[in-house]
Structure 1
Amino acid sequence: MPIHELATLTSKGQITLPKSVRQLLGVDTGGKVAFDLRDGEIVVSRADDEHEDPAIGAFLSLLTADIEAGRHVQVLPEDLARALLKNAELHVDLDAPIDGDVEL
């Protein structure tokens, strides 16, 4: 569903995100949004964690762009996946069975 909304820039460089954009992003008062420059366009997204590692964020942005462009995404080598998880301080058992359905 395409969306096109306009916002006016104030003299302080501020804008109000239109209600429809806030709803789609799932942000409310005090919520954080991120602005990313991609191919000459600004992409606005919800910022889930203000302490996000910029390298992981950049990697995920590239991965998202590949998926959206329909490019085939390769499986990460196991050692790289383990290193990413370790550096992200997540404790995930990569060998554990997956519960429920998985959608890609």
Structure 2
Amino acid sequence: MGRRLVINDLRVQSISHHDGHRSFTIVWPEGTVHEPADRFLRRHERSGTQRTYAYLLVDHLRWLEREALALEAVSLRDLATTWPRWVRSGAAPTGSPGEPTDPPSTLTR
């Protein structure tokens, strides 16, 4: 799976640290950190799952943007009814059926 440049959309950003480890956050199109997402991802620093969480979270945040929903406006009940429909339809959260996303290679969908 090849990498692709993401322009004008939320994206996952890899951060290389001086001690050699990498962490991941989500940034807005202009490059500023998405603070609520970063707070969540920092709790999983060095966990081995932070990258996967970042890619799943960026899909969710893109969906919120596309649907013009505030992060605080969506409840777990909303997600519990919406996500199963996506799974059944084969639709990616960021697009329509048949429009693939680029999950990290460590993520099995």
- Per the normalisation by structure 1, the TM-score is 0.31
Which protein is richer in helix relative to its size?
2
